[in-house]
Structure 1
Amino acid sequence: KKEFTKAISQLTEILKAKPAELKVRDYLGYLYEETKDVSKAMETYRYNIHLDPKFADSHIHLGVLLYRLKQFSEAVTHLDEAVRLTPKQPEPHIVLGLAHFQSEQFEKASQAFEEGIRHNPKNADLHFNLGTAYDKLNRFEEVERAMETVLSLDPHHADALNYLGYSYAERGIKIDQALSLTKRAVALKPENGYYVDSLGWALYKTGLLAEALMEIKKAVALVGDDPVIYEHLGEIYLKQQKVSDARDAWLHSLEIDPSNDKLLQRFREQGLANSANEDRIQQAKRRISEKVPSPVATP
């Protein structure tokens, strides 16, 4: 940090003598980010844009910073301009699409990624993010095509291996491929609990319950309190006729995410609900609405 502070001091002196040095000021903004001085970083990028509205680097860096701060609307403004000024750079297309995605503007997200691909047809990350946007739009054939394109460009793209494999498992199709893809993802990143969960879910879909349970328990150990993983755990226990364990897993999932109406309905249909655990679910809903940290412990 001392080195950053020294560099900031040096660049500040340079800019006093040469205030029109946009690249120097842009790098100063980056140094402010590195020292966690976000307000100074934003002020620095904004001043550059004030001096030259066509200076693309500061639009990109400000847009990315705003995206990280979850200020998606303003991020889009600067990233749109960055894309217009530097259409061949993949980063502004990616972050622009992600900003729309996080705003649940999935059609706009897909359009941003498609435009990026038009200029960067061999960028695997653009194709991957396009696939995730298509998924939100329920365009599964295009999800599959996008992920296959990613894997043709980069056969070791672990996110695409996992995403496509889990998508197949979740839909109950191409189960052999689902198993193969998720195994490859886990082989690349064995400590990624979400990949391990996907493998467990693919094993469950093939009927290999003991192996599935082992992987899902690994996923719990790696990730902790994730509602989807606990939902999967409950499904496996139910299939094994371990009703009490299924109840505990599903109840835990619902306490983490009480908005999962589909699971709550299934929980009740399986006769697992009673007044005590219904109360716990209602308490979880109130706690989340009040934004109080969860006291729930792993069962």
Structure 2
Amino acid sequence: MIRLSAILLATLIVVNLNAQMNASDAAALESTVDDARIVDNSLQPEYERAKRVYTHLISATYLRVTAKLFPAKKAYQQMLREHEASAFVHTQLASLNMEMFDLPTAEQHCHRAIEIDPEVPMPYYLLGEVMIWRYGNAKHRDKWDDIVSAFQKVIQLDPDHYGFGKNGRPFSAYNYLGEIAEQMGDYQSAANAFKELVRIMPYQPMYYLRLGGLYNQLDNKQEAITTYERAIKINRNLWRAHDALWKLCVDQYDRLYQEDQLEAAAEHLQKAIHSYSELKRLVPPANHKHTHDNELLAQFRARLGSLYVVLERESEAIEVLEEALEITPNNPDTNYWLGIAYQEIGNLEQAEHYLRATIALSPEREEAYNALGYFFAEHGTNLDEAVRLIQIALKKSPANGAYLDSLGWAYFKQGKLNDALKQLEKAVSYMPDSVEVQDHLGEVYLKKGLKKEALAAWQKAIQLSPGNTAILEKLKKHGQE
């Protein structure tokens, strides 16, 4: 019997030689072959047969490499006359007939190759491809199970199935299994298939793109983000990955913010800003759908700045907000949060500037009136204006406990203790769990000589914030008097 390993070796040698030929080399070789004197000494019968097989194999391989498909097919068929039970030759004929778009014949050769040697994966793979070409549309969905079975057999025989076609494009049974599962709406099976491709070829970003999309379909947002980030790590210029990533990060920011996970929310918003900025740089004009890029980036930066203020990361807040202001200087959110950030670090001039700018840009923004009014009250300046500003805010939201607290504190700084007490008692009815309101109420009670009530307010405050050293100091000082 002819050894197929030798046949395969001969094939590889010929393919390698022909792959290096240019057209003139090939023509010269054909001329040389035609002119050469053929030596044909007699061989023993079994070797004569082997010689014929090798001759047909070399001829078929050469003809196929030089795109002479019909003569190549004839040469393979001559090999079958010598050795019909060759799974290798049937596989080659299946592949060749696919190139010639003779799909029924290709399918027959696949089945014959599988019949001869059912432990070789390639005939199953070719069979799956032939069936996709023949039955891959919706009209033949009854055939899809057979297609899936063929590709599943491939990965059963070769769990790491992967290769490259003549055009240099990668191929794998996992790829087809993932595509089919996704078309059928089985996103988990599709994700499993592309996870295998990522395992086998961890530096192919296209598989991460597909896997990220499937995780998104499965509502596994964090896995989708991690997967897109991996694709970008391999190739930072993948605009489709950046496009998917910024949207996912904004979604995660919204969820985390609602859950009061502010550090994590800030991290995701930072990623969204980065990916959206990269998208602007990379995306082809024909694919660009966002006409208000600068405004959107400014909104993201304003949100991030506000988070940094709440997280007491004022210097980072100022940095990101000033970046936003360079793009959209008339954005009320950016001006407002810059004012608050500067207020927190004690830069009074800048705080007043940006809060006044906010009111000028957005007169209906009630929290800006309250913030500027409270700012004046806290520092004991412009107290008449402080009262007027806070009253504007209260006119818009009369049941807002924070605004009532601000007004009460402004009256306290003016020395109007009865007015202050009235507003702060109303504030505490709306915000009984506010440490700041309880603290202000205690100060007013103490100033009015109501020490017992003051201590009670501070006791309530310390229950709400057990580690508050300022409140503890007041209790210690006034409780011993």
TM-score (norm 1): 0.72
Give the match for residue 40 of structure 1: 220
Alpha-carbon distance in structure 1 between the residues aligned to 2:250 and 2:268 = 12
Q: Which has the higher contact order (CA 8 A, sep 6+)?
A: 1
Alpha-carbon distance in structure 1 between the residues aligned to 2:309 and 2:412 = 30
Give the match for residue 190 of structure 1: 398
Give the match for residue 247 of structure 2: 58
* 1:227 is aligned to 2:432: no
Residue deviations 1:64-109 (CA, integer Å, cap 9, x gap): 2375243133442333333554444222112222343344331111
Give the match for residue 473 of structure 2: 265
Give the match for residue 125 of structure 1: 333
One-letter amino acid of the structure 2 residue matched with residue 40 of structure 1: N
Give the match for residue 281 of structure 1: none
Larger Rg over CA atoms: 2
Q: Per the alignment, do residues 14 and 108 of structure 1 end up closer, same or farther by CA in structure 2, a change over 3 Å counting?
A: farther
Give the match for residue 243 of structure 1: 451
**Pairwise mapping of residues 130-209 of structure 1 onto structure 2 (< 5 A)?**
130-209=338-417
User: Do 1:100 and 1:108's aligned partners in 2 also have CA atoms closer than 8 Å?
Assistant: yes
76, 81, 84: which one pairs with 2:270? 76
* Fraction of identical pairs, as percent: 26
Q: Per the alignment, do residues 13 and 183 of structure 1 end up closer, same or farther by CA in structure 2, a change over 3 Å counting?
A: farther
Residue deviations 1:131-176 (CA, integer Å, cap 9, x gap): 1111222211101000000011112211111111111111111110
Deviation at 1:45, TM superposition (A): 5.9
Q: Per the alignment, do residues 220 and 175 of structure 1 end up closer, same or farther by CA in structure 2, a change over 3 Å counting?
A: same
Alpha-carbon distance in structure 2 between the residues aligned to 1:126 and 1:159 = 14
User: Do 2:390 and 2:407's aligned partners in 1 also have CA atoms closer than 8 Å?
Assistant: yes
Alpha-carbon distance in structure 2 between the residues aligned to 1:113 and 1:234 = 36
User: Do 1:76 and 1:100's aligned partners in 2 also have CA atoms closer than 8 Å?
Assistant: no
Q: Per the alignment, do residues 67 and 94 of structure 1 end up closer, same or farther by CA in structure 2, a change over 3 Å counting?
A: farther
User: Do 1:209 and 1:236's aligned partners in 2 also have CA atoms closer than 8 Å?
Assistant: yes
TM-score (norm 2): 0.47
One-letter amino acid of the structure 2 residue matched with residue 116 of structure 1: A
Alpha-carbon distance in structure 2 between the residues aligned to 1:63 and 1:120 = 25
Count the aligned residue pairs.
250
SS at match of 1:146: helix
* 1:256 is aligned to 2:445: no
Deviation at 1:221, TM superposition (A): 0.8
Unaligned runs of at least 5 residues, structure 1:
1-11, 275-299
One-letter amino acid of the structure 2 residue matched with residue 255 of structure 1: Q
Deviation at 1:48, TM superposition (A): 6.6
Deviation at 1:252, TM superposition (A): 1.1
Deviation at 1:256, TM superposition (A): 1.2
Deviation at 1:212, TM superposition (A): 1.2
One-letter amino acid of the structure 2 residue matched with residue 134 of structure 1: Y
Give the match for residue 283 of structure 1: none
One-letter amino acid of the structure 2 residue matched with residue 240 of structure 1: K
Deviation at 1:205, TM superposition (A): 1.3
* 1:109 is aligned to 2:317: yes
Unaligned runs of at least 5 residues, structure 2:
1-181, 188-205, 232-237, 281-292
Alpha-carbon distance in structure 2 between the residues aligned to 1:83 and 1:126 = 18
288, 299, 309: which one pairs with 1:91? 299
Alpha-carbon distance in structure 2 between the residues aligned to 1:213 and 1:186 = 17
